[in-house]
Amino acid sequence: MTDEHPDLLADLEARGLIHDSTDRDELRRHIADDAVGIYYGCDPTADSLHVGNLIGLITLRRFQDAGHRAIPLAGGATGMVGDPSGRSEERNLLDDDVLDHNVASIKAQLAHVIDLDDDALGVLVDNREWTEPMSVLDFLRDVGKHVTVNQMLARESVKMRLESERGISFTEFSYMLLQANDYLELYDRYGCTIQVGGSDQWGNILSGVDLIRRTRRATVHAFSWPLLTASDGSKLGKTTGARVWLSAERTSPYQFRQYWMQISDEAIGAQLKTFSLRPLAELDELLAEHAEAPQRRVAQRALADEMVTLIHGAAAAAGAAEAADLLFAKDPTDASGEALEVLRNEIDAIAVPVGDVGDPVPLFVAAGLTDSNGDTRRQLTQGALSVNGEALAADADLAAIAPLHGRFLMLRRGKKRHALVELLP
């Protein structure tokens, strides 16, 4: 490995990104000896990837930056079947039109993270290309013959489903064979010799390693990373609970940023090392700075800015950051129109004719920041309400306060409750 690209596997280990692997020393030598092809697959069961997929995409990016070839696989075929790993019940099956739409949408998201303009650096593949033309007899002869049912039953994902009330269909039971065949096809077509995935995929991944060993008499490699879990410990994904999407239509850049900003101080070190593309030495310095004043959340802010920029671009990241800061700014009068437009879609907002604005009492009630006229008057007396950063007196006249950009009033109760009022002509 050159000085320009230090030991990549050691870096991944230091980041806590190796959970399982094939022989570690052989894997290290394989990566160091030459440029390799590395693949990560995701099934297009929705028209967007999610934050759980981001570990895989960033892993491909790390390898690509080190001179290796990234091969993201959109599982158009396996997406029709559904993977039982980490699931308690079967997915709904998708038709061709939906899958075509999903694959096209996902390709656009992949291009934000991985260079797909040069096939020598990165190539997107869809396993429908080789799975659909394969007959049942060919599949049984070329794949099924080399995998025992004993091996399949031993996989934890299968055991869990067999013990459940719903059981497992033959369709999902066959999933690991399809995934194993994907690795074989990528080995034959692209010289791919490393497969990566979440730790719940390890059984499926090993099936591919074994299939190549049996059919090609070749040694290939693989590793998995620890699963990213939601706050309740469940797998963070598209169809299980928490949903943080990479699509701006499903999760706005503002909401995406807030996801990273809300990471706890206890977890931010591990999350930074998992997701950030910055060198570990820089992250150590950042975490030391964070430890000196955790309330400033410099580590969360750095990760949020990096991730939003990576997925949505620098302009969206700047707009989301300004909008978030605006909520807590003592003086919002310098806010940009773009930030106010972002906030209008993210916090409670109402539209009111400009001629109706004067008495703050009905306005705060209409905005949902107070429960009644009486509650509003009490909050005014206590000095808890403000508009555009100005604390309101009991006899305040909002008509005297200049709207932000000529059309917005920022209402605030205390430090954490906000609403935006758009003034209509």
Q: Digits of tens for pLDDT over the chain (425 positions)?
A: 444 456 999 999 999 999 999 999 999 999 999 999 999 999 898 999 999 999 999 999 999 999 999 999 998 888 777 665 654 444 556 788 888 899 999 999 999 999 999 999 999 999 999 999 999 999 999 999 998 898 888 887 788 888 888 888 888 888 889 999 999 999 999 999 999 999 989 989 999 999 999 999 999 999 999 987 654 445 554 444 468 999 999 999 999 999 999 999 999 999 999 999 999 999 999 999 999 999 999 999 999 999 999 999 999 999 999 999 998 877 899 999 999 999 999 999 999 999 999 999 999 999 999 999 999 999 999 999 999 999 999 999 999 999 999 999 999 999 899 999 999 99
The DSSP annotation for 161-218 comes to: HHHSSS---HHHHTHHHHHHHHHHHHHHHH-EEEEEEEGGGHHHHHHHHHHHHHHH--
Question: What b/e readout covers 217-238, taking b as 16+ CB neighbours within 10 angstroms?
Answer: eeebbbbbbbbbeeeeeebbbb
The DSSP annotation for 204-226 comes to: HHHHHHHHHHHHH----EEEEEP
Supply 106's token pair.
Answer: 């996902």
Is 165 exposed, middle or buried (CB count within 10 Å of its CB: 0-12, 13-18, 19+)? Answer: exposed
Is 359 exposed, middle or buried (CB count within 10 Å of its CB: 0-12, 13-18, 19+)? Answer: middle
CA distances from 148 to 140, 152, 340 (A): 12, 7, 60
Is 306 exposed, middle or buried (CB count within 10 Å of its CB: 0-12, 13-18, 19+)? Answer: middle
By three-state DSSP, how is residue 269 classified? helix
Answer whether 164's CB lies under 8 Å from 88's CB.
yes
pLDDT at 2: 44
Answer whether 17's CB lies under 8 Å from 225's CB.
yes
Which residues neighbour 335 within 8 Å (Cβ) at sequence distance 6 or greater?
322, 326, 329, 404, 405, 410
pLDDT at 235: 55
Q: How far apart are CA 413 and CA 364, in angstroms?
A: 9
pLDDT at 80: 75
